[in-house]
């Protein structure tokens, strides 16, 4: 057997084994809850910009981008711009594509740093609510000429907002590509873990994803990603659009 094929089969066996280890999955969620109390996701940067993501999820994202080769990535939520720069750098490696970032408040110091970044030539920023009809229409117009589109939802994490984002952008996702809904892990955190935020258990991206999947057969959860990561802020949030 070809050595590369053999290695990939061994990895697939590893992932299947992990998917069946319920105790390890529980331990991963225990770790997630404990690390969340220390704002673990704030510890990392990508090419000089704070990324506010788990490194494990970023490994998964680069695998997806390298495999699917989108020529447009739409991300809601910008913050410090680290994830925008990350996706732009991946598109730079594939040799094609643009990242559109949408945020209701792009703070001036963050905008300045993003615009000065070497990856900015692959980034476009839009200030406004991701569910504002005018913003949605603008993004749809910009998406019109692209052949392979990926969507990432990571802004306001309430059920209502994420559900509206899904409704607005899910059908832009190309068959075989992904809509990644971050912070579904809120559903598994301790109650009251976000006292200064409007989301909590029962009102978060996970509840919006569950509702969406109950009424939509175009997408399915890529369970292999969660199985191999174990530690992720997006359990059940890696949604692949089924081939046409």
pLDDT in tens, 25-68: 999 999 999 999 999 999 999 999 999 999 999 999 999 999 99
How big is the CA angle at 178 (ends 176 and 182), to the nearest 5 degrees? 165
**Residue 203 neighbours by CB under 8 Å, 6+ apart:** 158, 159
Residue 135, token pair as written in the block:
């913003």
pLDDT at site 34: 95
Q: Is 72 exposed, middle or buried (0-12, 13-18, 19+ CB in 10 A)?
A: buried
**What is the rounded average pLDDT of the residues 174-180?**
97
Q: Is the pLDDT of residue 1 over 80?
A: no
Sort strands 149-153 and 123-127 into parallel, antiparallel or unpaired: unpaired
pLDDT of residue 194: 92
Mean pLDDT of the chain: 97
**Per-residue tokens: 221:** 């959860």
Note the residue count of the chain.
244
Domain extent at residue 115: 3-241
Pairwise CA distance, residues 106 & 77, whole Å:
9
Checking DSSP bridges between strand 123-127 and strand 72-76, what pairing results, if any? unpaired
Q: Number of folded domains in the chain?
A: 1
Q: In this structure, what CATH number is given to the domain that contains residue 33?
A: 3.40.50.150
The pLDDT assigned to 244 comes to: 74
The three-class DSSP label of residue 127 is strand
Q: Quick one: average pLDDT of 14-22?
A: 96
Q: Above 90 in pLDDT, residue 12?
A: yes
Q: 116-159, pLDDT tens digit by residue?
A: 999 999 999 999 999 999 999 999 999 998 999 999 999 999 99
pLDDT tens for residues 63-91? 999 999 999 999 999 999 999 999 999 99
Alpha-carbon dihedral 30, 31, 37, 38, rounded to 10 degrees: 170
Distance in angstroms (rounded) separating the CA atoms of residues 132 and 188: 29
- Which pLDDT belongs to residue 223? 95
């Amino acid at each position: 057997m070809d050595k590369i094929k053999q290695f990939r089969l061994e990895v697939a066996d590893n992932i299947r084994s992990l998917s069946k280890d319920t105790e390890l999955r529980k331990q991963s969620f225990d770790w997630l809850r404990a690390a969340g109390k220390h704002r673990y996701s704030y510890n990392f940067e990508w090419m000089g910009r704070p990324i506010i993501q788990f490194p494990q999820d970023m490994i998964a994202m680069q695998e997806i981008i390298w495999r699917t080769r989108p020529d447009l990535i739409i991300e809601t939520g910008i913050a410090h711009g680290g994830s925008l720069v990350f996706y732009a750098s991946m598109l730079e490696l594939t040799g094609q594509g643009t990242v559109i970032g949408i945020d209701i408040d792009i703070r001036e110091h963050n905008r300045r740093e993003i615009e000065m970044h070497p990856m900015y030539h692959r980034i476009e920023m839009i200030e406004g609510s991701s569910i504002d009809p005018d913003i949605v229409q603008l993004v749809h117009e910009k998406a019109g000429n692209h052949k392979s589109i990926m969507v990432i939802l990571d802004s306001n994490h309430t059920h209502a907002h994420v559900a509206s984002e899904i409704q607005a952008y899910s059908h832009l996702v190309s068959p075989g590509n992904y809509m990644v809904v971050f912070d579904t892990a809120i559903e598994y955190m301790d109650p009251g873990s976000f006292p200064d935020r409007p989301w909590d258990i029962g009102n978060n991206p996970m509840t919006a994803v569950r509702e969406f999947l109950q009424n939509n057969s175009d997408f399915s959860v890529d369970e292999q990603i969660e199985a191999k990561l174990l530690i992720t802020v997006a359990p059940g949030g890696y949604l692949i659009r089924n081939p046409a």
